[in-house]
Copies of this chain bind each other. A is one copy, B any other.
Amino acid sequence: MAEAKDMYSFEKPGSTLAMAEDVMGCKWSLSVLGVVRQGICRPGMIQRSIEGLTTKVMNERLKKLTRYNIIERQAYPEIPPRVEYHLTDFGKKFVSILDQFSALDQELETRAKS
């Protein structure tokens, strides 16, 4: 059984926090997540939306985000092939936490003005 102290220790392997660390530690992860959440879901469009992102890295990130169940992949058996990525329910919770970092910005700005 977990002790209360454990509530305050970071770095549990396999935890959501460790996952967040892994995701955020990779360059381009947040950019990709950002455009996917905006509804830009096809690889070609994702790449064209993000200046400087290469195919290789994009696919690595999409794979990682998929593996962590933050986004999910749907492939349509057409010619030419079509693939779509969308946030999962878990992914929506995940990005809503990321938003709270941004919310701190607003708070700091507001404070600066007053």
Contact = CB atoms under 8 A, between A and B. Distances in A.
A108 B12 CA distance: 15
Q: Which 4 A-B pairs have the closest CB atoms?
A: A10-B34, A25-B25, A10-B30, A17-B101
Contact of A104 (B5, B7, B93, B105): B93
A110 interface: no
A60 interface: no
A57 interface: no
B24 A11 contact: no
Contact of A24 (B15, B25, B38, B94): B25
Interface of A is mostly: helix
Interface residues of A, number: 33
Nearest to A10: B34
A114 interface: no
A28 B98 CA distance: 20
Nearest to A28: B11
Nearest to A38: B8
B34 A8 contact: yes
10 contacts: A10-B30, A12-B102, A12-B105, A20-B24, A21-B25, A90-B104, A93-B104, A97-B97, A97-B101, A97-B104
